[in-house]
Structure 1
Amino acid sequence: MTEYSSDLLRLLASRGYIHQVTDAEGLDALAAKQIVPGYIGFDPTAPSLHVGSLVQIMLLRRLQQAGHKPIVLMGGGTGKIGDPSFKDEARKMLTLDTIGSNIASIKTVFENFLTFGDGPSDAVMVDNADWLDKLEYIPFLRDIGRHFSINRMLSFDSVKLRLDREQSLSFLEFNYMILQGYDFLELSRRAGCRLQMGGSDQWGNIVNGIELSRRVDGTEVYGVTTPLITTADGGKMGKTMSGAVWLNPDQLPHYDYWQFWRNTDDRDVGRFLRLFTDLPLDEIARLEALEGAEINEAKKILANEATAMCRGRAAAEEAAETARKTFEEGAAGGALPTLAFKRKQIAEILVELGFVSSKKEAFRKMSERAVRLNGEPIANLVRDISFEDGPSEFTIHLTQTATISLGKKHHGLLTPQG
């Protein structure tokens, strides 16, 4: 591991955040002698960010922990276009109302990870619509566009991927990287920002901003990217069978968020503890060395710490207690995902609870006798569950709340609708 003199790069390196640095020596020297404002941009494409964005949020947290200033850049302007990086097709265009409502919703999660305020190292949140919406086309082309080489932009992997697949890349999307580079220039001028961070897929965009700042203002700025975070089985971080693992509680219940971390692959426990918790490194080394059934205790700690950071300690404790009751006592805890109805098809229940992604998959699980009601496998012929009429050959009649399970990891509550 490279030896750094600054607390910032030592912290990032020791916990596994560094993939590339544009000028490690220059950034290390700067961070060792002054507070460095650094930013990451987040486009408001949904009402919530998901776990796939969490490493970037944690990167801002580490920046602040090392005594520097995090800048959260909301893409109210760039969100009107959408980042084409490594996407198979163009993003759907969002209305201004949707973008505004998504930003308001996303903002709430950052308060759990960062300390905002007016102090030298307090975090701030800005919106690039504040300057991008005011740009005039001809002056922008003359003053900024002339510094970008089309030849070079076409060489970026994020662009080549789309072109090599003969998939359309619109002029609108092609402008995204110019606007992102301009964001860095504006933040350098407005907030003294000297660092942009992001995932490895943002390397080309970050380099564009660095070169633009140097050419236009003669300012030295820096970039850091994180490695692509995948699970041990090669899956994309934050994606599960039932969809994205959302950070906002109104998009995903506390218990489901906790359970996502509890289900971590044994091989990922140490890495995820370093990236997504504040536990000391020596304690993480002890936990990741556990073997056999003992590694489950490390997973519970990971789930507790990651959930407490994002949702609050009370939410983590409630989810952990629900898990204990469900798995250790065989009882139904109060924080399980709940579905209220009068009569419903079992396949629909499994889809709506997020246990499976389609009714076809639900029917397959049912044929495998993997679906249980109050701990008992549901017979093959049964198709419906009802709270309003008597039992039949194809329907289970319930009179009170029941637990439905799929395998060992998915549990929910079924209740009569009011």
Structure 2
Amino acid sequence: MANVFDTLKERGFIAQCTNEAELRELFDKERVTFYIGFDPTADSLHAGHFIALMAMAHMQRAGHRPICLVGGGTGTVGDPSGRTDMRKMLTDEDIEHNCECFKKQIARFIDFSDGKAIMVNNGDWLRKLNYIDLLRDVGACFTVNRMLAAECYKQRWEKGLTFLEFNYMVMQAYDFLELNRRYGCKLEMGGDDQWSNIIAGVELNRRKNNTAVYGLTNKLLTKSDGKKMGKTAGGALWLDAEKTSPYEFYQYWRNVDDADVEKCLSLLTFLPMEEVHRL
């Protein structure tokens, strides 16, 4: 069987990786438990999440075990990555509702039978943390100057970055540490805008557990001109048929520019690559 790293690379998923040689070797040696996080900022996943779900499905088909993490804890803060302003604060009820919606959608892509995948909510541990204990245990592992160098924070200088959002990187890094301790998770995957947060988790595992873990980012869904794909006149291209009708969803992909067809077929379908190239 082909190494899943080669599959993801051939199909155009991989943007950055912490240690390609070691990770490829790990995929050959064992069934790797990995995770991708989804923050419940809405009551549906959208086309941008579709890339992550497909990468996760390829990994599962190759025999590895996904952890689907819904952000019942991180959703209370909101990820500043790629944002020019602060995200809308959600109520606990909104967060819980959105997490339940995500779970149903993810289960259509990932097989959770017989322990083949795990669904967890980071609210289960983040909401129980004692602030002083967290500062002493984890805060000492982060340097402010290193955090401020992260692209997700640099973009917010002019409009202002709240202390609330500044904690997001620490929370996401703590998730990786907790998942490694609980489930032996060795890899975090996410969109390329998550690189700084993923690196923070890799380093926190090394410092606290002396554990070798890895980070891998997927390319974001963009058009050939570099602009983000998955936006319609009405906003996001949702994976919920109530928010984006099947007809609208079909028409969106039917109408993509010819230059983007190969990329879409590679990333968003399971068609063999020979067939993708032929089409």
Is it true that 1:260 corresponds to 2:260 in the alignment?
Answer: no
CA distance in 1, matches of 2:97, 2:220: 29
Is it true that 1:72 corresponds to 2:68 in the alignment?
Answer: yes
Amino acid aligned to 2:81: S
- What's the Cα RMSD here? 1.2
Partner of 1:126: 120
- 1:255 to partner: Cα distance: 1.0
Partner of 1:48: 44
- 1:6 to partner: Cα distance: 6.1
Give SS of 1:39's match: strand
1:363-402 per-residue CA deviation (whole Å, 9 max, x = no partner) reads xxxxxxxxxxxxxxxxxxxxxxxxxxxxxxxxxxxxxxxx
Query: TM-score, structure 2 length as denominator?
Result: 0.97
Amino acid aligned to 1:180: Q
- Which of the numbers 175, 179, 183 marks the counterpart of 2:167? 175
Is it true that 1:101 corresponds to 2:93 in the alignment?
Answer: no
Partner of 2:88: 92
Once superposed, which parts of structure 1, at least 4 consecutive aligned residues long, lie more than 3 Å away?
none
Contact 2:43 2:97 in 1 (8 A): yes
Is it true that 1:215 corresponds to 2:207 in the alignment?
Answer: yes
Query: TM-score, structure 1 length as denominator?
Result: 0.65
- Indicate the structure whose relative CO is greater, using CA pairs within 8 Å and at least 6 residues apart: 2
- 1:29 to partner: Cα distance: 1.0
- Which of the numbers 231, 241, 251 marks the counterpart of 1:249? 241
- 1:133 to partner: Cα distance: 0.6
Partner of 1:155: 149
Larger Rg, first or second structure (1 or 2): 1
After the TM superposition, which residues 261-300 of structure 1 pair with which residues of structure 2 at under 5 Å, given as runs? 261-287=253-279
Unmatched segments (≥5 aa) in structure 1: 288-418
After the TM superposition, which residues 13-412 of structure 1 pair with which residues of structure 2 at under 5 Å, given as runs? 13-119=9-115, 122-163=116-157, 166-287=158-279
Amino acid aligned to 2:130: E
CA distance in 2, matches of 1:250, 1:229: 23
Contact 1:117 1:124 in 2 (8 A): no
- 1:182 to partner: Cα distance: 0.3
Amino acid aligned to 1:110: I
Give SS of 1:208's match: helix
Identity between Structure 1 and Structure 2 (%) = 51
- 1:154 to partner: Cα distance: 0.6
